[in-house]
Amino acid sequence: MHEETTTKEKILKKVRKALIQKSVNGTNIDFDSDIFLKAEEPLEIIFAQQLSKLNGKFVYCENENELCENLSSLIDENKWQKVFSFEKSIKEILKKSKISFSENEKDISHVNVGVSLCEYLVARTGSVLVTSRQNSGRRLPAFANYHIVIAYSSQLVYTIKDALSGIKNKYGKDFPSMIVSVTGPSRTADIEKTFVQGAHGPKEIYVLLVDG
């Protein structure tokens, strides 16, 4: 019995010692370094792969002329109607692509296809970041059945930390009151335990990435 007690005491002593050492070492933890490894592939490839895993669609465009062609083909092939956009630069692209659209805010509750910009694309998670500082904000993705995001390669970052840092630098003291990470189409299994895509937002999300 004495031997068992002695063994137990030895074990407890080792545990206490380990905990004390851990506590001491813990004071020098590096909270600034990234917890993720650096990207080993181009961010475009990583983002496309992650978006695809989430049932999102990725379209690469070499320039804005190809963007217009791909956008027009996408809408024609799917026979989509009721295209909507708030943003001035998007409206110019839609006009150049000869795509009919609405910009009247009264029509937003009936929109089928919403076309918008974004703040950043997060490659590691395949996410699209939008904020309240954009004209579309969170409203357009919430109403549209199909959400088309137009982004540029300069907006690609690897982690959400990089994106938030970019937003902070961009807006400074006028930091957005809302930042939303759109990660794939809306989906839920709350309805009778059946997987439903598009229950709380777009059924499908398309990201058209323009090089440059």
- Any idea which residue has 């009264």 for tokens? 106
pLDDT band at 119 (very low <50, low <70, confident <90, very high): very high
Nearest in space to 170 (alpha carbons), one of 105, 119, 102, 110? 119
Q: What does the pLDDT look like over 16-41, one tens digit per residue?
A: 666 565 444 444 544 455 555 566 78
pLDDT tens-digit profile of 32-70? 555 555 667 899 999 999 999 999 999 999 999 999 999
pLDDT-derived band at 196, boundaries 50, 70, 90: very low
Average pLDDT, the chain: 82
pLDDT on residue 106:
85
Q: Alpha-carbon dihedral of residues 10, 14, 15, 18, nearest 10 degrees? A: 170
Instruction: Report the predicted TM-score, pTM, of the whole model to 2 decimal places.
Output: 0.75
Report the pLDDT value the prediction gives residue 184, as an integer from 0 to 100: 83
Residue 34, burial from CB neighbour count under 10 angstroms (0-12, 13-18, 19+) = exposed
Looking at per-residue pLDDT, the higher value among 135 and 120 belongs to: 120
Contact 67, 199 (CB under 8 A): no
What pLDDT was estimated at residue 156?
Answer: 97
- Section 103-112 average pLDDT: 86
Report whether pLDDT(99) > 90.
yes
pLDDT at 108: 83
Reduced 3-state DSSP string for 155-171? HEECCHHHHHHHHHHHH
